[in-house]
Amino acid sequence: MIRPRTGVRAALAAALVAVTVGLAAPPARAVGANEALPDPALEARARELFKELRCLVCQNQSIDDSDAELARDLRILVRERLLAGDSNEEIIRFLTSRYGDFVLLKPPLKASTVALWTAPFALLLIGGAVVVLRLRARRTAREARPLDAQERARLRALLDDDGDDGGKGAGA
């Protein structure tokens, strides 16, 4: 039995520990206590809005989860708009007019965002087609048909020919 080297085992163990700790740890909240609004109702609205807005730096996190400086600025902006009396829809409209639909974690389906919604499915279909085609090619390569009589005769002639060109040299 072949045993992996100690270094490989140590690296695998470290990776396993890192994944386990990462999965077991609760998500970190990037929102500082000093950012919170004094009114609990407004703060709750702000936190709900934070979960709908994408961090433009991290791109796969909401601004509620991100510790990027731009996410912090967006949280402050949302809170300022709430204090000014804006509704949730007005805040979302303001941010999308400023940053585009990309600022939303769930962008609406419209002509400009069709690619965002269809790209994952298209890539999945293309990948599946590639896998199927490769498997078919491998199967047909394995299932070679036997040679017919004419092909066998030609192969025998090629194998019997020792490469002699009948006494004619290249310079003749």
135/114 Cα distance (integer angstroms):
31
SS3 state at 104? strand
Residues 36-71: tens digit of each pLDDT: 888 899 999 999 999 999 998 887 899 999 999 999
* DSSP assignment letter at 29: P
What pLDDT band is residue 16 in, cutting at 50, 70 and 90?
low
Distance CA 91, CA 35 (A): 18
Task: Determine the Cα–Cα distance for residues 160 and 103; give it in Å rounded to an integer.
Answer: 73
Reported as type and span, the H/E element at residue 24 is: helix 6-24
Q: What's the pLDDT at 82?
A: 94
Read off the pLDDT of residues 104-132 as tens digits, 9 standing for 90 and up. Answer: 988 887 887 788 778 889 999 999 999 99
The b/e string for 132-147 (b: 16+ C-beta within 10 A; e otherwise) is eeeeeeeeeeeeeeee
- The pLDDT of residue 13 is 66
Name 104's bridge partners: 53
Please, what is the end-to-end C-alpha distance for the chain in angstroms? 63
Helices (H) and strands (E) in the chain, counts: 6, 0
